[in-house]
Amino acid sequence: MVNTRSQTKMAENADLLALLAEMKKSMEKGQEEMKKGQEEVKVGLEKRIEQDQAEMKKGQEEMKKGQEEMKNQIQSHVENQVGEIKDHINSCMERIEDVQSVKREIGEVKGEVQRKIEEVENRVQGKIEEVEEKVQWKISDIEKRLSELEHRPINFPANPELTYSRPTVKRLGLFSKLSSTL
């Protein structure tokens, strides 16, 4: 079997063609596998994106719910604080009104006490003057009687044991001093 050059070349070409056909099949198979892999990656990515978007949406809803709860808690706390402040202010206002009422009552009682003091002072002054007049009248009456007794003759024998010196009665300046000090 002698091969001719053309036969050898043809045989080499046939081998090359077979190799090329096999390479083409292998490339097509590789491309299909790549396409299939890309498709799988694409599907996987789409699923992953959908899952991530669902998780993000769920997270946003939870955040929104949390913000709403926080807002409600803050609003409730503020309303409680405002209520407590209003109660404290009302309590202070009542105390102020009570203090003002007590001040008015103190002023009224003070005025009444002052009137009573003046009334008592006037009565005491009147009594002092009345007693002073009575004492002065009695002093004058006693002085008059003493004067009469001094001018009347005594019919008794002069017995030195029975005689005594009479004290002179002077007007007391005590009552006039008392009335001027009150």
What value does the mean pLDDT of the chain take?
Answer: 85
- Please identify which residue in the block is written with the tokens 């003759």: 153
pLDDT at 147: 86
Q: HSE-up of 3 (CA within 13 Å, CB side)? A: 8
C-alpha count within 13 angstroms, C-beta hemisphere, residue 146: 12
In terms of Cα–Cα distance, which of 133, 128, 144, 145 is closest to 179? 128
Across 13-17, 86-90, 166-170, least confident range? 166-170
* Predicted structure pTM score: 0.40
> pLDDT tier at 78 (50, 70, 90 boundaries)?
very high
Helices (H) and strands (E) in the chain, counts: 2, 0
- 27-61: per-residue pLDDT in tens? 999 999 999 999 999 999 999 999 999 999 999 99
Q: What is the pLDDT of residue 47?
A: 93
Amino acid at 119: E
Residue spans per domain, the chain: 15-116
pLDDT in tens, 119-131: 999 999 999 999 9
> Tell me, what's the pLDDT at 163?
56
